[in-house]
Structure 1
Amino acid sequence: MGVEKELQSRSGGICELCGSSEGLVALEVAPSDGSSETSVYICSTCNTQIENPDSMDENHFNCLNDSMWSEVPAVKVLTFRLLSKLTRQDLVDMMYLEDSERAWAESGISSSPAVVHKDSNGVILQAGDTVVIIKDLEVKGAGFTAKRGTAVRNISLVHDDAEHIEGRVNGTKIFILTKFLKKS
């Protein structure tokens, strides 16, 4: 039986990460020996996201909350790597991996330190958090001032800059320095 057939049988014909049945492909989880034990069966959406990590949609990968409990080592390893890339340390800490699985998962993570966003009090911020502005801020180019005490809901993190987040104030999407925010 071929690897693709084994993966299809193991997954029940759905993506092993999100459960979709659209455009399923086999993905080898490096380092791989090409077998079904070191591969996962994923949909085209997950595959595109994994191949283009700079444009990953965190909302799509909410499915990792379920796949992190998979019995399949390759699925757990890929989930661990994706959660690490998305800086979801809270979920990474909940995962149970055998020592060999953890070594495999960590071998595929780049050694560059992850960008950590912290508010003015040093509290770590996550995408989707709600923060409060602690100082009146003039928003250049928009013609208004973001007032102290304004809640900014469902923030986005700027992946290459720990000092900025992105959020909506008065219906306008703006970048805000984390030193002027506190998590609520």
Structure 2
Amino acid sequence: MNMTQDVCVLCGKNEDLSSYEVPPAGHAAGEVVLCRPCLDQIERKAELTPDYWRFLPDAMWSEVPAVQVLAWRMLTRLKNESWAAEALDVLYLDEETEAWAKAVGEEDDFVAGLVHRDSNGAILQTGDTVVLTKTLDVKGSQISARMGTVVKNIRVVEDNAEQIEGKVEGQQIVILTKYVRKQNV
């Protein structure tokens, strides 16, 4: 990778930059430089903010395949925005670049912009630890998950921002995000 790159390849910002390998790994020239706001939204560590991405119709014309892939993926995630849908309609990718862009399944991921939040509004991610804020009866089981129970290594439910999964008393259960608080470790 050209580490002399001193701006984000998508938005052009020149601060808080880091290297990012466009998944799946192994593509030649698949590493790019991104700013923190772009990276956090691409990796779903921050809430997807459609207006932030209004630079994509310009960035998508880059000659760098990795940039084209990122632009296509983000436009696909934002396709409910009229400006993003219009840009996606005119974006042309060669066969190999299009296959790379679709390799992680973004094209059907209408809910990619979903952000899981706890009862206090903190963003939840797979692997987090949470605490139950209410005693919950587990359907189809005799288990009652008591308020204050710590649930480690949760998994977010990809198609529903109101649900996570975790083990309580050795049983995998679905928990509503409004009944948990993220535990700061």
CA positional deviation for 1:53 = 6.6
Q: Where do 5+ consecutive residues of structure 2 fail to align?
A: 112-158, 162-185
Q: Is the 8 A contact 2:41 2:47 kept in 1?
A: yes
2:16 pairs with 1:16: no
Alignment partner of 2:110 out of 111, 114, 119: 114
* AA matched with 1:52: R
Which deviates more from structure 2 when the two are superposed, residues 44-53 or residues 92-101?
44-53
2:42 pairs with 1:60: no
Q: Is the 8 A contact 1:81 1:109 kept in 2?
A: no
User: Residues of 2 paired with 1:68 and 1:111: CA distance?
Assistant: 16
State the match for 1:172 in structure 2. none
CA positional deviation for 1:67 = 0.7
Alignment partner of 2:69 out of 69, 72, 77: 77
Q: Where do 5+ consecutive residues of structure 1 fail to align?
A: 116-158, 162-184
* AA matched with 2:11: C
State the match for 1:89 in structure 2. 85
TM-score by length of 2: 0.53
Which deviates more from structure 2 when the two are superposed, residues 50-59 or residues 62-71?
50-59
SS in 2 for 1:55: coil
Alignment partner of 1:101 out of 97, 104, 113: 97
Within a 5 Å distance, the mapping from 1:1-184 to structure 2 comes to 3=1, 6=2, 8-9=3-4, 11=5, 13-33=6-26, 37-52=29-44, 55-87=47-79, 88-110=84-106, 112=108, 114=110
Q: Structure 1 pair 76/20, CA: closer, same or farther in 2 (3 Å)? A: same
SS in 2 for 1:103: helix
Which deviates more from structure 2 when the two are superposed, residues 53-62 or residues 40-49?
53-62
Q: Is the 8 A contact 2:73 2:107 kept in 1?
A: no
Q: Structure 1 pair 55/89, CA: closer, same or farther in 2 (3 Å)? A: same
Percent identity for Structure 1 against Structure 2: 34
TM-score by length of 1: 0.53
User: Residues of 2 paired with 1:112 and 1:75: CA distance?
Assistant: 20
> Which whole-Å deviations, capped at 9, do the CAs of 1:93-134 have from their partners, x for residues lacking one?
11121100011111123464537xxxxxxxxxxxxxxxxxxx
Q: Structure 1 pair 60/74, CA: closer, same or farther in 2 (3 Å)? A: same
User: Residues of 2 paired with 1:160 and 1:67: CA distance?
Assistant: 30
User: Residues of 2 paired with 1:62 and 1:160: CA distance?
Assistant: 26
Q: Structure 1 pair 160/15, CA: closer, same or farther in 2 (3 Å)? A: same
